[in-house]
Amino acid sequence: MAKTPFVTVDWLKARLDAPDIVVLDASWYLPVQGRDAAADYAAGHVPGAIRFDIDAMSDENSPLPHMLPRPEVFASRMRTLGIGDGVQIVVYDGMGLFSAPRVRWMLMAFGVRDVAILEGGLTAWVAAGGPLEEGEGHPRARRHFTARLDHGVVADANDVARVLETGSAQVVDARSGPRFRGEEAEPRPGVRPGHMPGARNVHYSALQSDGRLKDPDALRAVFAQNGVDIERPVVTTCGSGVTAAIVALALETLGHPPRALYDGSWSEWGSDAARPVATGPA
């Protein structure tokens, strides 16, 4: 597997039939994007790709969206999909680079190390003449999967409050500027507008171009322009823990992986009246 977080379309084409390669369609969309991930998968996916439903693979007992499940639950669901230990996993999504980083982060948090993102996603695959397979797909036979959660890469609300108070790490919010500044209502009921006092704002879209991460110099410039020192520790956050993984991925490609990702993100912080909220620019 490549040492970068990405593999190319040509790389995957050459290895698509390899028995130790597992491809995951990690597509997930916001309601405002007006797309149905399950329908899109059935209409056409990379041949042999298994649909990885973020919501179905998350903690269904949590009132918060997309929270990591217990390790034993995640392991059981991975076994049901036929994904076992020791395979090389490639994830992609239908937007190029949106939800695939979250799935890669989830897998790595549970101990998977051989996992990469298809550069450019399904769009790049189709543009390069890659074949598509229709239908619901068929998971492989059950295989043993071991899940060991690395608690160090997962931040909770108390962790975020602590780093904001002590300045031991920077908190970088991937939401849009209007949401960060509190100029737009939050899409989830009961969640206050605004941001964590002291957080910095780097909208995930500013890190991308045509469904791919920008080049390293451009990424450095975006972080610097938004007051983020990539040499210092970072905790990433967003609305519900999905696009925070895009910021984390950008930092990783620059050789400065973040300290942690705040899993509850603004869905948790903004709905807790005991947590302080700021509005306006950082």
- Give the residue numbers marked as catalytic: 238
66/74 Cα distance (integer angstroms): 12
User: SS3 for 103-124, per residue?
Assistant: HHHHHHHCCCCCEEEECCHHHH
Asked if residue 168 lies in contact with residue 159, where contact means CB atoms within 8 angstroms, the answer is no
User: Assign residue 198 a region: left if phi > 0, alpha if psi is -120 to 50, beta otherwise?
Assistant: left
36/237 Cα distance (integer angstroms): 25
For the record, the structure tokens of 2 come out as 């490549």
For the record, the structure tokens of 237 come out as 């956050």
Cβ neighbours of residue 53 closer than 8 Å, sequence gap 6 or more: 28, 37, 38
